[in-house]
Chains A and B, each alone.
Chain A
Amino acid sequence: MSAPLPDLLPAPDAAIAAPVRKKAPGRASSLRIWLPLGFLVLLAAACFIWPQIYPVPKPVGGSILEAGLPPLSPGHILGTDPNGNDVLSRILYGGQVSLEVGFSVTVIGLVIGGSLGMAAGYWRGITDTSIMRVLDVLIAFPALVLALAIAEGLGPSELHVIWALAIFSIPAFGRIARSNTLAIREQDFMLAARLSGSRGRHIILRHVIPNIMPQLMTFALLGFGIVIILEGALSFLGLGIPLPEPSWGSMIAQGQQVLSATPEQALIPSAFLFATVVSLNVLGDALRERWGVR
């Protein structure tokens, strides 16, 4: 019997999901999909496209003469930080980092963890045992300690943050993929596919993946939010994106130093972080209801 292990992500248990509503998706339900989706698309466009087509001040190398300008100053809509860097620009470039890290870690977890979990759940036996033991050990380890140690060890950089966080997203996705594969494994269409002589790989591609995708996708949205929070935590502790490069986490940490004088320095990036994660969570929740995922 393996001892229950701590988990980075909240248990993806069925019970967490709100009970399935019986009525057809109404306006409120579509609003819960389109509103967060719209915000996320706007945010991504602002972070990635805006700086390309409309010049914003550089996020680093600001002049000390312009330090600490309040929001709504000419040329600096959100003001400047104590180093004279434009806050809006740092928000946009920091948002690039958050979204890139969140997306990469989620995709790595989805692809690697998902494949391992499906293989374990489909072939069972020794494949299952050996894959799950490795994932269990990763899950047993206090997540943040490992991330901190890896980030510390490799040195702060965006790529290293992605590696460090992927180590937790892989086992989480692995477990979801495995339990959902197990759940459909004995269903009739799987049996039919096996009887018709399909090979394992073909069955996984054509039957398993489409059937467990809704579960994995809703989990991916939740995981995306958690990864953004963790990236912020690493940067907050000075182990994520190296200064002076912008990151929402390090902006909050810097702003916290001057909280009583200029609270907006910490509150603006906090608001962006919160709005992004809440959008991902609401979207994930609404899609889960829409797709009827447990």
Chain B
Amino acid sequence: MAVASETSAGMTLAHKVLGSPTLRLAGRRLLAAIPVLWGVTLLTFLVMNLLPGDTAQVLLGANATPAQVHQLEIRLHLNEPFWVRYGGWLAATLHGDLGTSLASGENVTTILGQRLPVTAELLIYALVGSVVLAVLLAVLAARRPNGIADRFSVVISMTGLSVAPYVLAVVLVYVFAVRLQWFPAIGYTSLTASPLENIRSLTLPAIAIGFPLFAVYTRLLRADIVEQMQREDYIVTARAKGVPQWHILIRHALPNSMFGLITLVALNLGVLIGAVAIIEPIFSLPGVGAILISSINNHDVPIVEGVVLVFAVVVVVAALAADLLYAVLDPRIRYERSAS
């Protein structure tokens, strides 16, 4: 329990705030996330540590002398036992210091600070686009099951479910960059340099990541809405009152169908680390996905840890945000004491 019940009288305001069900839920969830985050960092450290091949040797290349390798090991504390290194990393991380890259010596926080905005921008572009389009297509499809829009949605979502992001990326680059030359094939322009170029440089990668998501979201949401329209009493009531079909779809069925979608979007965020890691190098985007791949190859543990940790935190926060959103969508959901 996040907040112990206060017994002393006379602290009504504090009591009210601390007693707020939403805050209590948030606190409880964040506390529950601590072991998960810890487990993920430990597992990452373990896996990276189990990799065969000497990290110092990998960093110095095949021509390094044993003496050089030994020196570098001492400098990077690689000669110390596993638990000492993990403990050191954990202690530093709890103080907000993610360490320095083994390969470049750069501060991991600095690297993340430079690269996260690129990845965040890409993911937001992909997610917002896929959710908005999915809602549009799902509503159109659910309006008349087995109609033209519905058949179209089935075909398009099956396509999206079956296409690998890297296959999609290759096809997109060929069609829109090589052939039509509408978008650049590689490279990144920052938002401050030129907003238009920034959008252009991110469009193809965002489609490569977003289209499969769009397919999954459309499928889920369409099925949800159709089910609501067929089964629920409030739909029958609305129809009986003479509410227009569109109004029923958008004001009644859609909000009640959003729960599944919100859950899926939140849960999927963690999986996106994989998509980002594959797509960013294809388009030469300087995000965290690109450096994750090279760091795994280099055995650059601090960077891998940093990236994995950031994504794990994002997943935890997104899951919490989803829970709080439920309450916004459905006033019946209140995170009361009885919920614990």
CB of A149 within 8 A of CB of B48, answer yes
Known: A17-B223, A143-B271. A267 touches B264 (CB 8 A): no
Given contacts A149-B48, A255-B170, contact A3 B33 (CB under 8 A): yes
Inter-subunit contact B223/A225 (CB<8 Å)? no
Digit string of A220-233 for contact with B (CB within 8 Å is 1, else 0)?
00000100010011
**Can you list, as one digit per residue, whether each of B173-199 has a CB less than 8 Å from chain A (1) or not (0)?**
110001000000000000000000000
- Size bin of chain A's contact surface: 35 or more
List, in ascending order, chain B residues with CB within 8 A of A273's CB. 164, 167
Q: Are A6 and B296 in contact (CB under 8 A)?
A: no
One of A7-15, A55-63, A195-203, A208-216 contacting the partner: A7-15
B243 at the interface (CB under 8 A from A): no
Query: A16 on the interface (CB 8 Å rule)?
Result: yes
Bound CA span A99–B304, Å? 31
Do the beta carbons of A137 and B43 come within 8 Å of each other?
yes
A228 to B296, CA, bound (A): 22
**B residues near A6, Cβ cutoff 8 Å:** 267-271, 315
Q: Does B230 touch A at the CB level, under 8 Å? A: yes
Q: How far is the CA of A10 from the CA of B154 in the complex (A)?
A: 16
Q: How far is the CB of B172 from chain A (nearest CB, A)?
A: 11
Which residue of B39, B50, B161, B270 is within 8 Å of A142 (Cβ)? Answer: B270
Q: Which of A105-113, A177-185, A278-286 contacts B (4 or more CB under 8 A)?
A: A278-286
Q: Are A10 and B216 in contact (CB under 8 A)?
A: yes
Contact present for B158 and A285 (CB under 8 Å): yes
Give Cα A65 to B264, complex, Å: 52
B267 touches A11 (CB 8 A): yes
Do A270 and B171 touch across chains, with their CB atoms under 8 A apart?
yes
Of the residues B166, B171, B270, contact of A5 by C-beta under 8 Å: B270
- Within B218-234, the residues touching A (CB, 8 Å) are 219-220, 223-224, 226-227, 230
Q: Are B274 and A142 in contact (CB under 8 A)?
A: yes
Which residues of B lie under 8 Å from residue A148 when comparing CB positions?
A: 277, 293, 296
Asked whether, in the complex, the Cβ of A13 is within 8 Å of the Cβ of B164, the reply is no
Tell me how far the C-beta of B88 lies from the nearest C-beta in chain A, rounded to whole angstroms. Answer: 21
Are A7 and B271 in contact (CB-based, < 8 A)?
A: yes
Instruction: State which of A68-76, A87-95, A186-194, A256-264 sits at the interface with chain B.
Output: A256-264
Minimal Cβ-Cβ distance residue in A for B47: A149
A236 close to chain B: CB less than 8 A: yes
With A137-B43, A150-B47, A252-B167: A144-B33 Cβ-Cβ less than 8 Å = no
Instruction: Select from chain B the residue with minimum beta-carbon distance to A17.
Output: B223
Q: Which residues of B contact A152 (CB under 8 A)?
A: 51, 296-297
Interface bits A7-31 vs B (CB < 8 Å: 1, else 0): 1101101011111000000000000
Check B174–A144 contact: CB distance below 8 A. no
**For the complex, what is the distance from the CA of A281 to the CA of B215, rounded to whole Å?**
13
Q: Is B159 an interface residue (CB 8 A)?
A: yes
| Nearest-Cβ distance from residue A266 to partner chain B, whole angstroms | 5
Bound Cα distance from A288 to B2, whole angstroms: 43
Is residue A126 contacting chain B, with contact meaning CB distance below 8 A? Answer: no
Q: Are B174 and A263 in contact (CB under 8 A)?
A: yes
Check if A141 is an interface residue, CB within 8 A of chain B.
Answer: yes
Q: Counting CB contacts under 8 A, is A170 at the interface?
A: no
Instruction: Tell me if A1 counts as interface (CB < 8 A to partner B).
Output: yes
A2, A13, A15, most chain B CB atoms within 10 A: A15
Cβ-defined contact, A236 with B166, below 8 A: yes
Interface 0/1 of A231-245, CB less than 8 Å to B: 011001100000000
Whether, in the assembled complex, B260 has its beta carbon less than 8 Å from a beta carbon of chain A, the answer is yes
B167→A140 contact, CB < 8 A: no
Contact of B223 among A19, A280, A281 (CB under 8 A): A19
CA distance A253 to B293 in the complex (A): 15
Return B258 CB to nearest CB of chain A, in Å.
Answer: 12
Determine if A278 and B223 form an interchain contact, defined as CB atoms under 8 angstroms apart: no
Q: Complex formed: what's the CA distance from A151 to B173 in Å?
A: 28
CB–CB A145/B296 < 8 A: yes
Task: Tell which of A8, A225, A229 touches B271, judged by Cβ atoms closer than 8 Å.
Answer: A8
Residue from the list B161, B163, B173 in contact with A259, Cβ < 8 A: B173
Instruction: Please give, as numbers and ranges, the residues of chain B lying within 8 Å of A125 by CB-CB distance.
Output: none
Give Cα distance in the complex from A273 to B28, angstroms.
44
Query: How far is it, in angstroms, between the C-alpha of A13 and the C-alpha of B159 when the chains are bound?
Result: 19
Bound Cα distance from A113 to B115, whole angstroms:
37
List chain B residues, Cβ under 8 A from A155.
52
Q: Looking at A145, A273, A274, which has the most chain B CB atoms within 10 Å of its CB?
A: A145
B184 to chain A, nearest CB (A): 13
Cα–Cα distance between A148 and B297 once the two chains are bound (Å)? 9
Q: Among residues 120 to 172 in chain A, which have CB atoms less than 8 Å away from a CB atom of chain B?
A: 137, 140-146, 148-150, 152-153, 155
Contact indicator A256/B170 (Cβ below 8 Å): yes
Shortest Cβ distance from B264 into A: residue: A11
Q: Which residues of A contact B278 (CB under 8 A)?
A: 144, 233, 236-237
Partner of A140, one of B39, B48, B219: B39
Would A232 and B164 count as touching, CB distance under 8 A?
yes
**Given A1-B29, A252-B170, A256-B170, 10 new contacts (CB under 8 A):** A3-B32, A15-B224, A15-B260, A145-B296, A229-B164, A232-B164, A236-B166, A249-B166, A252-B166, A270-B171
16 A-B pairs with CB atoms under 8 Å apart are: A3-B315, A3-B319, A7-B271, A10-B264, A17-B223, A142-B271, A145-B292, A152-B297, A153-B50, A153-B51, A229-B164, A232-B166, A263-B174, A277-B162, A280-B162, A281-B162
Q: Contact residues of B with A, CB < 8 Å?
A: 28-29, 32-33, 36, 39-40, 43-44, 47-48, 50-52, 145, 154, 158-159, 161-164, 166-167, 170-171, 173-174, 178, 216, 219-220, 223-224, 226-227, 230, 260, 263-264, 266-271, 273-274, 277-278, 282, 292-293, 296-297, 304, 308, 311-312, 315-316, 319, 322
5 nearest A-B pairs in the assembled complex, by CB-CB distance: A6-B270, A144-B274, A278-B162, A153-B51, A229-B164
